[in-house]
Amino acid sequence: MLPTVCIGEVLAGRYRIEHKLGWGGYSTVWMAHDVQHSKTVALKIMIPGEKGEYEYQMQNEILQTVRDTSNLVTHQGSFLLPGNSGKHHRVLVIPLLCPSRRYRAIQLLVATRVSAAKQLLVSLESLHDVGLVHRELNEGALMWEMPLSVAEYDTSTKNQWLGRPKKVFLGDYLWKRGELVEQMTMPLGLLGSKLYLGDFGLTIKDGTSVRIKEQAPYYLCAPERFHGADPSLASDMWSYMCLFAALYLGNNVFYGNGGGSTAFSWVEQLGAMPSQWKRRFWWPEEVNEPWYENTTTPDPERDLATRIARMRPDTSHAERELVLSIMQKSFCYLPERRITAGQLLKDPSFRAIMDIYQC
């Protein structure tokens, strides 16, 4: 359970809560003013217990082992916040950034989106270089730079730029006063161009076996994870390529809720899945036998090449061929055949696309 917090409340004697930045299953993120150092920061308040502490421990490992963390969202300090029934919440003090979940890729300039894809790959490579699997690559893990000019203003001026917090008092029946606060929406024109990778609450060392193999949202999850395989560096690369496609094309390339619809979206674009995966799909009642038959080929009306052409009709044939080459190197069913983050950064097709958009 997450703690009750009010706008204007001061935590740890120095962090005055100003607005709500976002929330997830394990945490809520708030914009706060550090009265001790006269700067604006973000506070990530975790649920109590082992799951809440795990991200703190993983961030510490990242800080100790990753050579360059400049593109990763890591804490600058932490403290414990008293909660209900004697429980405590770990609070991570992190840089003030803007969650990407509130913005569809299509709203941003193509050059900004392509640059973000490259920055994300650099971030991912830094984790993979030390054998860490992010495991939960999705839009919620991506955060945009917030202009310093916003952070430097007083609360009143920030509210003029960002909107006053919309809140509802939760009543006096809780263990302490609290408010339900609507998440802030940053005006699109105020977003910076630098992208950061965060949310390390599920990050693991490569080779670690986990109970829950799949990843939500399911249309970003590597197919082998729906067939009993553990998350891996290679499964991260599938998820990365899904995000690359969404950034470049302006929309997701796969779809579905993790059942038959998601599997169908793979098969119609990539063809049959490996026959050795047959009868291992996590949702057996939705299995379609032809998914695993060699005679099943991509639908020419819906395959990757066709989708790229339909979703980016403004591009040349040569550019579309480069993008198709990039996607095909990660959208391989067998994880051992996928390109690595380091290899993709050096890949001629990838570098050519970056050159086109001057990234």
Confidence grade of residue 164 (pLDDT, cut at 50, 70, 90): confident
Q: What is the CATH number of the domain that holds 282?
A: 1.10.510.10
Query: Are 139 and 261 part of one and the same domain?
Result: yes
Q: Provide the 8-state DSSP code for 290.
A: G
Give the whole-angstrom CA distance, residue 8 versus residue 21: 15
Q: Which domain does 181 fall in, by range?
A: 1-95+147-185
Tell me the mean pLDDT in the region 156-185.
Answer: 77
Query: Are 249 and 317 part of one and the same domain?
Result: yes
Give the whole-angstrom CA distance, residue 159 versus residue 203: 35
pLDDT per residue over 42-60, tens digit each? 999 999 989 889 999 999 9
Looking at the structure of the chain, the number of domains it has is: 2
Confidence grade of residue 167 (pLDDT, cut at 50, 70, 90): confident
Give the whole-angstrom CA distance, residue 316 versus residue 318: 5
Distance of CA 171 to the CA centre of its chain: 34
**DSSP code per residue over 99-165:** EGGGS-GGGS-HHHHHHHHHHHHHHHHHHHTTTEE----SGGGEEEE--HHHHHS-HHHHHHHH-PP
Structure-model confidence comparison of residues 175 and 155, the more confident one: 155
Question: Among the listed ranges 194-203, 285-294, 309-318, which one has the minimum average pLDDT value?
Answer: 285-294
- pLDDT at position 320 is 98
Query: Are 112 and 221 part of one and the same domain?
Result: yes
- pLDDT at position 115 is 97
Here the tokens at position 86 are 């004697």
